[in-house]
């Protein structure tokens, strides 16, 4: 019985990885008017920190849980880099190019602010890259914070 409860908790924790994807799809629709306010991005980062904390409790080993927690972020980032920096515009798969950006959308407003501090020109590719890095960083900080608290 305890094993079943632990398994359900692991599945619920893994399902949290889909939240940025769902939010990205919502942001990319008329529901939000194709934008995501800064306040929601800040709330999302707090949530993502908490998700990182939740992943320390998975029963699969510390390194694996950190990698799995960042897996969709890493996969989306690799597809984004491949679509926009490796493949030419003529050979770009529009579905992969479009869908690779969806996972990072909840943090785009913060990424735009960060980028504007260094360069006021609008370059959306850089916004997306900053978003992916920010999401990985926040998740990892949440993970390390909880792992450190569990050691004390």
- Work out the percent of the chain whose per-residue pLDDT is above 70: 93
Q: What is the pLDDT of residues 7-54, one digit of tens each?
A: 788 888 889 999 999 998 888 877 666 666 888 899 999 999 999 999
Residue 109 has pLDDT above 90, yes or no: no
What total of structural domains would you count in the chain?
1
Distance CA 133, CA 115 (A): 12
Structure tokens at 142: 């949440």
Q: Can you give the residue range of the structural domain that contains 137?
A: 2-151
Residues 1-26: b if buried by 16+ CB within 10 A, e if exposed? eeeeeeeeebeebbebbeebbebbee
Residue ranges of E strands in the chain: none
Give all strands (DSSP E) within 18-146, no chain letters.
none
User: The whole model's pTM is what?
Assistant: 0.87
Task: Quote the pLDDT of residue 26.
Answer: 86
């Amino acid at each position: 019985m305890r094993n079943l409860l632990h398994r359900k908790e692991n599945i619920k924790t893994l399902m949290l990885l889909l939240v940025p994807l769902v939010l990205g799809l919502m942001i990319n629709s008329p529901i939000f008017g194709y934008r995501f306010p800064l306040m929601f991005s800040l709330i999302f980062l707090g949530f993502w920190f908490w998700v990182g904390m939740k992943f320390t409790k998975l029963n699969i080993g510390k390194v694996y849980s950190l990698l799995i927690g960042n897996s969709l972020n890493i996969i989306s980032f690799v597809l984004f880099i491949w679509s926009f920096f490796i493949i030419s515009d003529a050979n770009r798969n529009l579905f992969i190019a479009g869908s690779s950006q969806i996972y990072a959308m909840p943090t785009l407003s913060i990424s735009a602010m960060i980028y504007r501090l260094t360069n006021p020109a609008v370059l959306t590719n850089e916004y997306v890259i900053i978003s992916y890095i920010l999401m990985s960083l926040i998740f990892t900080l949440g993970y390390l914070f909880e792992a450190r608290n569990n050691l004390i």
